[in-house]
Amino acid sequence: MMRSKKIRIKNLRITTLFILFLFIVIAFLSNSTIVFFFKDKIWAHKVNSIEKLNEANKLFSGVELDVVFYVKNNYFDVNHPPDKSLNLLLAEYFQFPINNSNYKYWIDFKNLNKDNELQSSTRLDSITKLFNLSTSNIIVESENPQFLKSFQNKGFLTSCYLPSGLHALNEDSLKVVLEQIKMDLITYESFYISMDYKDYPIVKKHFPDKKKLCWFTTYGSMNKIKARLLLYEILLDDDVDVLLIPS
C-alpha cells in the first residue's frame, strides 16, 4: 500500500513537472509573452486596413503600414503592392480614433522617389497637422534613403530599409553590400536602419551604434528555439526601438 502511494506521488510530480515544462515552452514560443514583457517595443506588422488597425489599437503601442503615393491626385493609398488596393486613403486611416494620444506609426513608403519626394512630404505634413499628430511619433521608411531628407526637415523620423537576406549572402557578396550600406549611411542621414530579424546579428556587428528597427514575420528555415532566443536578444538591445510581429 505504501509502495503504491509512493508511486502515485512520484507520477504526480512527473506529470506536474511535465505540465510546467510544457507551459514554459508554450510561453517561450508565444508572441503574447513578448508583447506582455516588451509592450512599448512590440508593434503590429502590415496593418493596412481599418479593421486591422482597430484590433492592433487594443494590443499594440504602434503599427506598421504600407503606402503608395499618387502624384496626380496628391494622396497616399494604404496598400502593399501587389496586394489589391482597398482604396484606403492615409487621411482616412489617421482619422480612425485611437485610444492612445502617443500612438506610433511606421510608414513603409513603397514608391518614394525623386519625382514625389517634395510633394509627398508636404502632403504627409499637412495630414499630420490636420489630425494633430506629432511628427516625432511617425517613422517614414524607404529603401531609397536619398529621398528622405524632405521628411526629416519636417520633423519626421526616418529609416533606411536595408537589403533583405544579408544572413544568406556569402562572404564576398556580403562585403560588397555592407560597403554600399556604409556609404549610403554616410551620404544620406537617417535616424534608423530597419531590417529582417534574421539579419540583426550582422547589422549589430557592423553598425553597433546605429538605432535600429526590426521585423519578425515567419520563422522560415530558422530553428524556432534559436529564432526565439534571437528575438529576445533583439528586444533586450537598447539600440532597437521597435520589433514588428504579425498582427
What are the pLDDT digits (tens) for 68-105? 999 999 999 999 999 999 999 999 999 998 878 889 99
- As a whole number of angstroms, the distance between CA 103 and CA 61 comes to 6
C-alpha cell at 168: 544568406
Comparing CA positions, the residue from 62, 71, 144, 139 lying closest to residue 101 is 62
Residue 105 contacts residue 137 (beta carbons within 8 Å):
yes
Instruction: Give the pLDDT confidence of 141-171 residue by residue, as tens digits.
Output: 999 999 999 999 999 999 999 999 999 999 9
Residue 40's SS3 state is: coil
What is the value of pTM for the model shown?
Answer: 0.89
Buried b / exposed e across 104-120, counting CB within 10 Å, b at 16+? bbbbbbbbbeeebbeeb
Residue 59 contacts residue 44 (beta carbons within 8 Å):
yes
92: number of Cβ within 10 Å? 13
Instruction: Give the pLDDT confidence of 4-52 residue by residue, as tens digits.
Output: 766 676 666 766 765 665 555 555 557 778 888 899 999 999 999 999 9
Task: Identify the CATH class of 38-246.
Answer: alpha beta
Residue owning grid cell 499628430? 133
**Structural domain boundaries in the chain:** 1-36, 38-246
Residue 127's SS3 state is: helix
Residue 200 contacts residue 164 (beta carbons within 8 Å):
no
